[in-house]
Amino acid sequence: MTGQSWFDKPQRTIFIGETGRFKVETQLNAMRLPFLIPLPSNHPTPNRMQIALVLGLLVLAIVLFATEKATVDLITIGLLIMMTTLGILTPAEAFSGFGSDFIIMLASIFVVGGAMQKAGILEILSTKLFILTRNRVRSLPTILMASISFISAFMNNTTVTAMFVGPVVGLARKLKISPSKLLMPMAHASILGGTCTVIGTSTNIAVNAYLGKKGLPTFAMFDFLLIGLVLCAIGIAFLATIGMKILPDYKEVDMMQDLQEKHYFSEILVKKNSKLVGQRIRETVLSKMELRVLNIIRDKHNTIADSNTVVEANDILLVEGSLKELMKVKNTNGIDILADTMVAQNLVSEDIQVAEILIMPTHDFVGQTIKESNFRRRFGLTVMAINREGQTLSEKIGSTEIKSGDRLLVQGPADVIRFRKSFSDFIVLQEHNYELDRSTRNATLSGSFFIGAIILGTFEIIPLSIAFMLAAFLCVLFKCIQPEEAYEKIEWKLLVLIGGMTSYGVALQKSGAAAFLAENINDLVGGMGPTAVLAAYVLFTILLTQPMSNAAAALVMLPVALQSAESLHVNPVTFALGVMLGASVSLITPFEPSCILVYGPGRYKFSDYLKVGSIATILLFIVIMIMVPMLYPF
């Protein structure tokens, strides 16, 4: 690679962004910034073996990410161990990605977001939104998507989707419309909202930090706001019109009704001469027949049964099971069948609640069976049925593996369900008659700290990372969130993934793999100009986000894209922004966490995402290719 680099070109002013009347301009050539890979005069000959190893490990990681044979953090750590063992990275280089301030910034945002979530800020906003839209059915999708995009510009899109999915399902039921008409647009809107600000997604934060680490200009809070607003507008307009016609109109699944249609609920009176008296429930013939004892009515008091509960004379057991097994138990001495009915009147009482909960990708018991996760002992709730892709599973629940996006029909004490919901352990889809004890003080404080961090970081009064660390510190100091809760709110797997993939970017450069890939891409499309090369990187990033997370895909493509920009002597920031936005507009498959959250409740099929998401992604790709070079010239 010879000739004049982009930084050696004559002085030029590069337009970085605009927010209202605020413009940011920078004289990039005056900075004489060092680039990622020095010019060939002092660059060693690439090691072909190391290039092959680095790219081979990347292919292996992509396969493992796609097949979900292991969690993303384990795959990432394994990748770093392999590269260090093979001598591609030194230990210091392998862990360099974890030492950046953006890791602390991401953790701080999770803590502040957790405090706001605990205080009920999003629920307050969602309540006001639904009051506004309940009589405007036609405009409901547009208002819903616009509101969620705005919120998601400042908060993690997965958190925003998680908080809105329950109320949206409830609203759809009230308005007697299919949730499938609202949930996918809601998830897509939350993803697009993240393209408006630097803190909108973890991908934006990671890419911005990578640029700073390499001595390149970084983005301020609202530098690419204009592009983000256009992406949101185009996406919302499509989803509210053509997309709404393409979206399926699936009937809402009533899990309780499905369960009642497949299983019988019977009341069994235990007589004094019954062999059941004095036995623990797990030891009884009922348990051996795979009948589940849900409740015990003792002295007219209805309580939830536990496997260790000892049966007493005159107990009335509410059991659930197949008709075949219930017919067998009729012949057991010492018991009377009081009711043989499809109606489970005693499942719910003043103290006992039945609820539908949604399983999120962040739950640590995903991939385990109900028994392996000790679900009942851990959460105090009994799983009665699982709904997956529109099918209600109720046989051998204990040995059924829990998957992300599943809907569980659970029974438990009302105060336990209330506690789990208030601390965001679960997303409760079914509406309840109780009110959460929300603190106005905590909502005001946590919201103020969050807004203060945005203001301080935007106007560069203090660095953005320090601003959010201060906000997290104040949330804990003023007891908006407890220290142990703060640690629980941090998505450690995501931090490990981003830190590890940042270090992988170092390996791409150090081994010469980035230069190798960049040279081949330039040879392939470089003759058509820098716009064609940029389009290739944006497209590759979009495709790579299918098997990988958005942040991981962006961090893999970024070093290669920057190398291409250097060899073409064009603005590297233009390529960086294209890759960053490309990672956030891939709506083709349901693998993005926000899409996974609505997959089950919306009863979507994979093909539904392909039909709606592919068209939306093509439109957004065109917007990126028009606006990025326009506002960030080559």
**CATH number of 320's domain:** 3.30.70.1450
612, 523: one domain: yes
204, 227: one domain: yes
Rounded CA-CA distance 517/509 in Å is: 10
**264 beta partners:** 321
Q: Are 585 and 231 in contact (CB under 8 A)?
A: yes
**Positive or negative CA dihedral for 187, 190, 191, 193?**
positive
In a domain, 470, yes or no: yes
Structure tokens at 336: 């009377």
Quick: pLDDT tens for 54-97.
889 888 888 888 777 778 888 889 999 999 999 889 999 888 88
- Give the CA distances from residue 502 to residues 79, 211, 535, 602, in Å, rounded to whole numbers and listed in that order: 12, 11, 23, 35
More confident residue, 350 or 115: 115
Rounded CA-CA distance 272/140 in Å is: 60
> Quick one: pLDDT at residue 193?
93
Tokens 């925003």 appear where? 160
Among 353, 362, 478, which Cα is nearest to 410's? 353
301, 392: one domain: no
> Quick one: pLDDT at residue 80?
92
In a domain, 394, yes or no: yes
In percent, the amount of the chain with pLDDT more than 90 equals 18
Among 218, 609, 223, which Cα is nearest to 405's? 609
542, 616: one domain: yes
72, 147: one domain: no
Question: Position 61: which residue type?
Answer: A
What is the domain count for the chain?
A: 4
Find the mean pLDDT for residues 423-450: 67
**Which range, 101-105, 428-432, 565-569, is most confident?**
565-569
306, 342: one domain: yes
Structure tokens at 555: 């961090």
Q: Which helix (H) or strand (E) holds 412?
A: strand 407-413
Find the mean pLDDT for residues 405-419: 76
Helical ranges in 432-549 per DSSP H: 440-458, 464-477, 483-489, 492-511, 513-525, 530-544
Among 221, 233, 234, 195, which Cα is nearest to 577's? 195
Find the mean pLDDT for residues 436-455: 79
Lowest mean pLDDT among 99-113, 255-269, 567-581, 585-599: 255-269
For residue 81, the 8-state DSSP code is H
Q: Are 119 and 442 in contact (CB under 8 A)?
A: yes
Regarding beta strands 352-358 and 301-304, do their DSSP bridges make them parallel or antiparallel, or are they unpaired? unpaired
239, 278: one domain: no
620, 557: one domain: yes
In a domain, 41, yes or no: no
Find the mean pLDDT for residues 243-256: 77
Find the mean pLDDT for residues 273-282: 85
412, 534: one domain: no
| Burial class for 80, CB neighbours closer than 10 Å (0-12, 13-18, 19+) | buried
> Quick one: pLDDT at residue 19?
35
Among 61, 20, 112, 162, which Cα is nearest to 548's? 61
Q: How far from the centroid of its chain's Cα atoms is residue 201's Cα?
A: 11
**227 has pLDDT over 60:** yes
Q: Are 221 and 199 in contact (CB under 8 A)?
A: yes
0.75 exceeded by pTM? no
85, 223: one domain: yes
Find the mean pLDDT for residues 369-385: 79
Confidence of residue 620 (pLDDT cuts 50, 70, 90): very high
Q: Are 493 and 73 in contact (CB under 8 A)?
A: yes
Rounded CA-CA distance 182/191 in Å is: 15
218, 176: one domain: no
> Quick one: pLDDT at residue 103?
84
Instruction: Give me the domain span that covers residue 19.
Output: 6-31+46-94+198-247+491-631
In percent, the amount of the chain with pLDDT more than 70 equals 79
**Which range, 41-50, 98-107, 391-400, is most confident?**
98-107
Domain end call among 382, 404, 428? 428
Rounded CA-CA distance 599/180 in Å is: 9
Confidence of residue 360 (pLDDT cuts 50, 70, 90): confident
More confident residue, 614 or 32: 614
Quick: pLDDT tens for 578-608.
999 999 888 888 777 788 778 777 888 888 8
**523 has pLDDT over 90:** no
Rounded CA-CA distance 234/239 in Å is: 9
**231 has pLDDT over 90:** yes
Find the mean pLDDT for residues 271-285: 84
Average model confidence (pLDDT) for the chain?
78
172, 265: one domain: no
